[in-house]
Structure 1
Amino acid sequence: MSNKKEKIAVVASGGGMSCSYAAGAIASLVDHHNFKHPDIVIAGSGSAGTLAYYAAGQHNKFKRIWLDLLASKKFINLSRFWKIIDIDYLIDTVFREKEPLDVRAVCNSPVKVLVAVTDYATGDLVYFSNKDRQDHDEVFEILRASKALPLAFNKRIWVDGKAYCDSYLSASLSAHIREAIKEGATKVIAINNTVKRPINETFFSAWVRVRGKKFRKHYYKQMKKADQYKVPGHIEVECIEPETKLPISTFQHNTKGLKETYKTGYNDMKTHKGVVKLLNS
């Protein structure tokens, strides 16, 4: 763990398949910086599973998951319009069977894991903690909820008697930085995978507009707060993000693009002088 006087958080944005960038970055954080146990990890959407595996000490599974198992039409199929992205395949086949996530290790980890979701009824941003789960299997349902993107997956996921889904709010990097600081983090390594895709944002905005008034009010208010959040001056934040356009986007999953994106994240973290300084100061 980090120095008792400091708390270090690792947070990552969502972004669908572009989150292979974060997977590479975190693998490099372990391989080249030997940083295995941050105090806090926070993510939602496409990065939530990666951070859970990281907290469980299973970063060695990243490559097969991202570069092999997710490069499949079983996961993303643009012609399967009623379920473009199959989150059940991700959770039940990949996370449970092919490359099993050690949920006991997640729950018993010294790392506090916060997974972001959006309340389907109210539009509120909610964080679930690994420290609150008596039934370890519930971790899978929380991850399923965090990745349940409206329109593309078309399911709401129930946890503790409430329905949740994915959204731009629960994928927001600035919201996760704010939550990390609220949890006491004094240093934050923030990984930004976000690839701007106007057509995706247009469809999602249309979905938000047909939601109830309460949902819209809460959702837009919290998005505005997240977007306008200013990091306090005494908090150290190092942001890792691609300098050039990634060869992958939310619903693209070709093996070549995934490999390039993963490698870019890996190399960006490896050579990031700010991260070295943050970890050694």
Structure 2
Amino acid sequence: MPATMRGVQLTGHGGPERLVWNEAIPRPDPGPGEVLVKVLAAGVNNTDINTRVGWYAPEVTGATVEGDVAVEAGGWGGALDFPRIQGADLCGRVVALGEGVTAPAIGVRVICPTSQPEPTAEHPVRFRVIGSEYDGAFAEYCVVPAHQLYDVSAAPLSDVEIGAMPCAFGTAFTLLHRARVTSGDRVLVTGASGGVGLAAVMLAHHLGAEVTAQAAAAKADAVRAAGAERVLGRGEVAEAGSVDVVVDLVGGPHWRAVLNALRPGGRYAVAGAIAGPMVEMDLREVYLRDLSLFGCTYTAPEVFAGL
């Protein structure tokens, strides 16, 4: 096994120029409870861009392209250690085991969730994000806690198809799980042509929901093919009280109209704010209509296993 590896390192918050190709990165060794994984495929997601530009810092209030290179706490869990190898989506093969690890076995094809549960008594939904709090899949090898890996050796999908699943489909399935989507629900998905949005359309349709999707007109056909019965343009607004569930990935200036699309007793689940995280809310619209709001980042182990 080589002592070094090739990969892309993030050298600080900023534009693509902060990503540096390196052909001599020291290959990591797995510690106790860890596994060395040879990367077979890695996906690129909006969260990788958000981390690079420092968008997760609380002082950043604009859309996801509006990060701040001066922030210190721009990662999911706060300040990053640079250089950092990003890559929140991973499909790989186990090539070495750390002390105390018996599974997954060497040779097994694996994936892992993007947000990885590490709960404590004080923080029951604590998690770490691969490619943010520790080095991820934008290199030939990475080290992952053994208990975060799932055996996908028997899956008929290709490495590339599996490598595109953890972030998009894991987040989408978490949103639908938290909002308790079941057959017959009327579901509105914003940002439906993006990775998480398209996955949410597909999974909601699979669950038997009636899906309305918001997406750019140029991508309407792809969204319909994924299972949407109705596609609204980005500027269009769903009728008031017309849906049971909103899966929101956009936020921004149209947020209040999106919330108004919910029927009384409706459920709103959010895992993104690509149009901006700052919104105006009339609290009466929430409590007088008995709405339930869910912020969704933590993916419970049983949810990812179900995916």
Structure-1-length-normalised TM-score: 0.30
Higher-strand-fraction structure: 2
Larger relative contact order (CA 8 Å, sep ≥ 6): 1
Structure-2-length-normalised TM-score: 0.28
